[in-house]
Structure 1
């Protein structure tokens, strides 16, 4: 009889414990958890302890749907309301990235050894990653629009970080159907510097390194804002032109783009700041000459790395005051050992360095001891 009584008590206790645990989980799920992302318009992360909810919207311009993920730690109980979200087990052990802008986050978090595959390996400039490529530890995956699915399936990564310019990447869809986990990254579609950089928090969540990612981003944010504070003391606002000819059109940053925002934040008067787009603007040469013939600075002249190279391509570049005064600055000169432009890879992740470059170019008196990191004055 005593044993029967104890068995009943044990059963009741177990039921009560399960009920209490479930109630606690439900309580946490019902709590108002704040989004840990502050600047990135296309990313939201909600941390519930043993799982996180990640929401990605606008991973490309005019995206028609949002993408929702649950990052699940081992043993976590996930509410039924999240059953329709893509589930990814974390922390991930191996990863495939598809853009060079994903690489710096891995390196800053110290998890670059988890990268097992990448398309167009020559584009990567990071010395640490290049050493792993040379050691045959990272597989070549072709290109983004036709990834080598056979190699990827054989690698069986914990997650693939994808991106797209539209909703038309059939390769990613096929990989998803094969059972692989794909998380979209929309960092390239952010229009603010800190918004782009904040996507490191996605990688922090995937690796269980949220605190480390938050600290890295906060340090970048602090440096960025400290440089902006210096610009308030600038005594002038020099005029700035940008871009270069390609075939019969001149391509330059639109007025609401990331590039234009950097020039404005750095204390420059970008001559196309009133244009409304967020991408690039294409204009006839005559329109650019009419607007910018007397611009004081020329920042980002396409892929050119010398003044001689510019006029060899188009003698009309010499008509601009910025060219005549040798105030042309390019980021295309600094490349990795296989030709990848370092700016394309690192700049979106390190706006604190980019803004210092811009301020050094336009207002050198504000940063007398700083040396340009990405840009170089063309001779």
Structure 2
């Protein structure tokens, strides 16, 4: 009997050990299908898209980085880590006044634009890492930088369609910048606010019909029914005209096709960065045929804009709660009587 008990104890111990090993080997923190990370005794592992990065403890946190996409600055600014940035491409698209001051003082260098990066300057700055969205046409440039010992990290946050998953990228930046606690706290704040706002939106009596985006030439590029814009509209308790569509990318339609679906539309959002309805008509007279143009309300994304820079594509990438709050204010103004729009602006 004692032998059986001993064998049972040994068996359970082995099973427990195997389970513990299995858990530790798969202990990845999943941000989304496109991004996850894992802490190891030897460092930090990151899976981003098809790329895997293994950073040893002596490699992180980074002290000097370069950004090749303005949208990534939103995460950096949210962590008050602007002092870590030594270079950025297309600085004219950066909205942050703090970052613009650092650029003016020469503490952040201009390293080119989306047409051509200044590889020599990038190498001379000796960054610990470069952050960028992957662009196939720049593969040779990426390889040249890697050949010079520079770590190139690809983050495709712009492909994320769920607002909180996109905001959660801040956790990985926190890991890489030595600001883990700040990142966790910031995300927790955003997540809490977002979920509370969703609940608030559900208390609205009406569920208005919404149109989004605008035409370019003869084509209207509407957000697919599973895109971030469509998800924001849904979370704000409104009905998007393509709510039954399953695309995570833009859906192209002619004006006639949109017109046939827009008879009940009450709000038109993300209508570019136009300054007025008159300006919109001067670009496309067909807009005037839409009922929402004369009877509804139209909102652009020019609430925080400075020349080419638009904060909707910077801090708005991280502050999903602020974006959602804007949409709720638009669709259900009675729920947020004292709130002023941040990123959106009504066209008169």
TM-score over 0.5 for the pair: yes
Extract unaligned runs of 5+ from structure 1.
1-26, 58-65, 75-88
CA distance in 2, matches of 1:219, 1:231: 18
The TM-score, its normalising length taken from structure 1, stands at 0.83
Check whether the contact 2:102–2:108 (CA below 8 A) recurs between aligned residues. Answer: yes
Question: Does residue 35 of the first structure (1) align with residue 5 of the second (2)?
Answer: no
Distance 1:41 1:167, change over 3 A: farther
CA distance in 1, matches of 2:188, 2:42: 24
Question: Does residue 138 of the first structure (1) align with residue 113 of the second (2)?
Answer: no
How far the C-alpha of 1:206 sits from its partner, in A, is: 0.8
CA distance in 1, matches of 2:75, 2:217: 35
CA distance in 1, matches of 2:122, 2:193: 39
Check whether the contact 2:46–2:53 (CA below 8 A) recurs between aligned residues. Answer: yes
Structure-1 residue corresponding to 2:57:
73
Distance 1:34 1:365, change over 3 A: farther
Aligned counterpart for 1:248 among listed residues 198, 218, 222 = 218
Distance 1:176 1:202, change over 3 A: same
Aligned residues: 329
Question: Does residue 281 of the first structure (1) align with residue 281 of the second (2)?
Answer: no
How far the C-alpha of 1:294 sits from its partner, in A, is: 3.2
How far the C-alpha of 1:32 sits from its partner, in A, is: 4.4
CA distance in 2, matches of 1:150, 1:188: 28
Check whether the contact 1:224–1:355 (CA below 8 A) recurs between aligned residues. Answer: yes
How far the C-alpha of 1:292 sits from its partner, in A, is: 0.8
- 2:33 counterpart SS class: coil
Check whether the contact 2:78–2:315 (CA below 8 A) recurs between aligned residues. Answer: no
User: Mapping of 1:86-105 within 5 angstroms?
Assistant: 89-105=59-75
Structure-2 residue corresponding to 1:259:
229
CA RMSD of aligned residues (A): 1.9
- 1:252 counterpart SS class: strand
How far the C-alpha of 1:286 sits from its partner, in A, is: 0.6
Distance 1:49 1:217, change over 3 A: farther
User: Mapping of 1:112-261 within 5 angstroms?
Assistant: 112-166=82-136, 169-261=139-231
Structure-2 residue corresponding to 1:372:
341
Structure-2 residue corresponding to 1:46:
38
How far the C-alpha of 1:247 sits from its partner, in A, is: 1.1
Structure-2 residue corresponding to 1:343:
312
CA distance in 2, matches of 1:224, 1:248: 36
Structure-2 residue corresponding to 1:63:
none
How far the C-alpha of 1:325 sits from its partner, in A, is: 2.5
How far the C-alpha of 1:264 sits from its partner, in A, is: 0.9
Check whether the contact 1:192–1:261 (CA below 8 A) recurs between aligned residues. Answer: yes
Query: Which piece of structure 1 moves more, 353-362 or 177-186?
Result: 177-186
How far the C-alpha of 1:303 sits from its partner, in A, is: 3.1
Query: Which piece of structure 1 moves more, 260-269 or 27-36?
Result: 27-36
- 1:53 counterpart SS class: strand
Structure-1 residue corresponding to 2:13:
none
How far the C-alpha of 1:252 sits from its partner, in A, is: 1.6
1:34-88 alpha-carbon deviations (Å, 9 max, x no partner): 3334x4221111112551111112xxxxxxxx211122223xxxxxxxxxxxxxx
- 2:339 counterpart SS class: coil
How far the C-alpha of 1:209 sits from its partner, in A, is: 1.6
Extract unaligned runs of 5+ from structure 2.
1-19
How far the C-alpha of 1:165 sits from its partner, in A, is: 4.6
Question: Does residue 316 of the first structure (1) align with residue 281 of the second (2)?
Answer: no
Check whether the contact 2:70–2:89 (CA below 8 A) recurs between aligned residues. Answer: no
CA distance in 2, matches of 1:52, 1:97: 20
1:254-280 alpha-carbon deviations (Å, 9 max, x no partner): 111111111111111100122222111
Check whether the contact 1:326–1:378 (CA below 8 A) recurs between aligned residues. Answer: no
CA distance in 2, matches of 1:71, 1:220: 28
Structure-2 residue corresponding to 1:20:
none
